[in-house]
Structure 1
Amino acid sequence: MKKTLLLLMSLSLFACSSTPPKLDANEEFERLYVALGMEEILSSFGGEINISPEKLFSEMLSDLPENQKRIFIESMSSKIMTDPINVNAAKVVFRTKLLSLLTAEELKIAADFYSSNVGLKAHRAIIEAEVAVSESLD
C-alpha cells in the first residue's frame, strides 16, 4: 500500500512539474495585434500612408545587412511594393519589427496586458497623448 501511495504521489508530482508548452511568437503577435486594435488604427489612415513601401521596409529592416534587406524587400509582392502602403503591408512591417524586438514570452505578456480593460485604457491614453504632443509641435 505504501509503495502504491508513493508511486501515485510521484506520478502526480511528475505531472505537475512538466514543462509548459512552448510559446509561438507568431500566435502571440496575432493576439497582441488584435488586442491593440492595429487593424482599425492602420485602416484609419484611409489605406494610404504617404511614404514609399520600399523606404518604409528599408527603415524597418535597418538592422539587417544590406543584402538580406534587399532579398526581403524583393520577396514582397510587387503589388505591395507599387501600391500605397496598405494594411497588410503595414502589418508585415509591424510583425517583423516586433518579432525582432520581443520574445514570444514578452509578446504573450503584452497581449495579455493589452487584452485587459486596463491595457486597453492605457493604449488609448498613450495614443491620445502622442496625438496631443504631435499637435502641440505642429
Structure 2
Amino acid sequence: MPPDTDEHADNDDNQDSLSDDPTVEVENTPSSESSTDRPTDSQTERTDGPSTVGLPTIQDNARDAAKKLLDSDFEGIIEVSMKEDGKWRALVEVVERRAVPDTQDIIGRYEIELNDSGDVIGYELRERYQRSDLKEEL
C-alpha cells in the first residue's frame, strides 16, 4: 500500500502545481471572456437585427434593377455596402449614350437602395460623365 499513498501524494503535488500555473488562474478570472460572453458574428455586424440576404443576392438584385429600371446598358457594380440602418446601398454604372469612339460614351452612376430582404426601395442618379474623364477617386 505505500506505493498507492505515494501515487496520491504525487497527484496532490500536481494539483498544487496546477493552481500555481498562471495560465490556469487567467482562465478562471472574471475578466477573461468565455465563449458564451463573446458576441457572435451576427451580433457584431448589426445591432438592429440580421440581414436576411447576403452580398451575392444584393449584387444580383442591384444588377437586375439597373437593367430593368434604368433602360440603359449595364456597365458594372462599383460598390456595395450595408448602411447603419440595415439597408443596402449599391453603386452601379450604366452606359446612357453610346458614341464613336467609345471614349465619348456617357456613363451614369446610380445609387440603388435595397432593404434588408434585398428588395429595391429606391434609386438616384449620382453622377454622369464621359468615359474618357479621369477619375481621381479610384
TM-score normalised by the chain length of structure 2? 0.25
Which of the two has greater helix per residue?
1
Choose 1 or 2 for highest CA Rg.
Answer: 2
TM-score normalised by the chain length of structure 1? 0.25
RCO (CA 8 Å, sep 6+): is it higher in 1 or 2? 1
Which of the two has greater strand per residue?
2
